[in-house]
Amino acid sequence: MIELPTSVRPIERAGGLTFLKIDAPGGTGELCLQGAHLTSWIPRDRSPVLWMSARSRFAPGLPLRGGIPLCFPWFNFYAHHRDAPQHGFARVLPWTLLRVRERGDAVELALQLRDNPMTRATVWPYRFELTMTITLGMELQLALEVTNRDAKKFTFEEAFHTYFAIGDVRRTQVTGLEGLDYLIDGQGFAAEGRPLDPGPFGIGRRYSPANSGVILDAGNRRAISVNSEESNGVVVWNPGPATAKTIDDFSDDGWSTMLCFETCNVGEAAVTLGPGESHHMGARFSVAPLD
């Protein structure tokens, strides 16, 4: 591994996964090298912003439940390939740490994933390079750069599938998406200006075009702002109690204290790159007290 500043320390965790513990002046965090997956971000003197399931698995090749899974090169299922792993392979592969820099109150980490024989044997066989840059301090910034290293063009989907920790989903509102078009994939209710109601089967809305919003987390008396760049959609997801029971790495009441607010380019907003071309998607998260 590259040389690390004192603010970043590698640790081995359950299941043999390697994590980096980050202790920046502006906040602390934990990053799993599998999936370039951030599992914790705690701005200095604040409470945790990311939710992790108490029942998450931690094992090579299995997705973690919570934090910020990175979905690539597809979201949900890949076309008619129902046996392809949900949300693509990037979240379950080991990434290489390229660079760590201390920047003001934050630490910036850059990680890379390239195609390998395993990815080339999947339904998405192209040569690619991904660079994920995470800047963690009082604010959190994510930037994903996708480069086509193939001789052919390719099309991909991408998402930061962020799980936010909230006091109680039924006392939470989302603003900034009012009046935007959305697709419904869930029976819960997310009326503008009213607290969310996941009902038994949850909320699953993809707004498009959309890229920013604010989660009014009354339970923790805070507002979490999400501002995205070069992303066309936002997915708001909570499984609700009945669906959560069918997901074995969700604890029975875990659904009530999480909300996914996902920055994405999926469906009709999938990105096509020609040989040598790159695409960047970014997101910035910040937290402020709510009176």
Residues in contact with ligand G6P by the rule CB under 6 A = 63, 76, 86-87, 185, 204, 235, 237, 260
Active site residue 80: no
Given the complex with ligand G6P, which of 106 and 196 has the nearer CB atom?
A: 196
CB of 207 to ligand G6P, least distance (A): 12
CA separation for the pair 233, 71 (Å, rounded):
14
CB atoms within 10 A of CB 91: 24
CB of 260 to ligand G6P, least distance (A): 6
- Among 30, 108, 158, 262, the one annotated catalytic: 262
Q: What are phi and psi of 120, to 5 degrees?
A: -70, -15
User: What does DSSP say about strands 271-273 and 154-156: parallel, antiparallel, or unpaired?
Assistant: antiparallel
Active site residue 37: no
CA separation for the pair 279, 256 (Å, rounded):
35
Given the complex with ligand G6P, which of 66 and 176 has the nearer CB atom?
A: 66
Closest CA to 1 of 134, 158, 111, 108: 111
CB of 64 to ligand G6P, least distance (A): 9
CB of 113 to ligand G6P, least distance (A): 18
CB of 206 to ligand G6P, least distance (A): 7
Given the complex with ligand G6P, which of 27 and 204 has the nearer CB atom?
A: 204
CB of 258 to ligand G6P, least distance (A): 11
User: Any idea which residue has 């740490």 for tokens?
Assistant: 97
- Among 80, 161, 192, 230, the one annotated catalytic: 161
Given the complex with ligand G6P, which of 250 and 273 has the nearer CB atom?
A: 250
CA 98 distance to own-chain centroid = 20
**247, 258 Cβ separation under 8 angstroms:** no
CB atoms within 10 A of CB 192: 12
Given the complex with ligand G6P, which of 74 and 126 has the nearer CB atom?
A: 74
Given the complex with ligand G6P, which of 95 and 137 has the nearer CB atom?
A: 95
CA separation for the pair 258, 279 (Å, rounded):
30
Could you list the active site residues? 161, 262
